[in-house]
Amino acid sequence: MIQHVEGDRFPVGELDNSESDRLKMVSRLFTEAGFKSRLLTDIRSEIWLKLWGNLTFNPISALSHSTLVDICQYPLTRELARTMMAEAQAIAEHLGASFRVTIERRIEGAEAVGKHKTSMLQDVEAGKPLEIDGMLGAVIELGEMTGVDTPSLKALYACASLLNRKIQQESVFIKQRPLEQ
């Protein structure tokens, strides 16, 4: 059984950008179940858009124990987010993806979400392993393959990797603090 917790948007697309019958069927089934399911002809760009925010805000949040609005309103972490997103965007565009929003609009969108704790921060607070390899490690590897330098992504990856190691090997547990209203 699958338990869906939040969100009602499930865009779908084929990797070859076609609108296949199976894609139309999946979209229809999601729609009939009450979800918004757009057919996309560039699913890779949509995946990069989602990853773009995750690879930026998750590690900053986990390392600083901050919510999205905290990250976006603090000048130093906002600038770090911009830099990380620019590095990731350069890789994605080198691979043929495009972004339908600017870096600043994406950051403004995260800020508007408010006092949201990212999944990686929630994992830190629960003492669970962090998903850093899929979010940061893979993108850094793509950067190496495409010749795009990623100093900010590598720095955050190093810090988050150490935190992950401490959580896993030393059972470090970071006490959860209540969100301020």
Residue 67 maps to a domain: yes
Considering the domain architecture, whether residues 112 and 28 belong to the same structural domain is answered as no
- Identify each DSSP E strand in 24-175 by its residue range: 39-40
Total tally of structural domains belonging to the chain: 2
| Residue 84 maps to a domain | yes
Q: Does 49 lie in the same domain as 36?
A: no
Rounded Cα distance, 106 and 68, in Å: 12
For the annotated catalytic residues, the residue numbers are: 50
Distance between CA atoms of 95 and 154, rounded to whole angstroms?
A: 19
Q: Tell me, what's the pLDDT at 178?
A: 61
Q: Is residue 181 part of a domain?
A: no
pTM assigned to the model: 0.84
Let me know if residue 79 belongs to a domain. Answer: yes
Across the chain, which has 181 residues, the per-10-residue mean pLDDT values are 66 85 88 86 90 96 97 98 99 96 96 95 94 95 98 98 92 62 52
Tell whether 37 and 52 lie within a shared domain: no
Containing domain of residue 163, as a range? 43-170
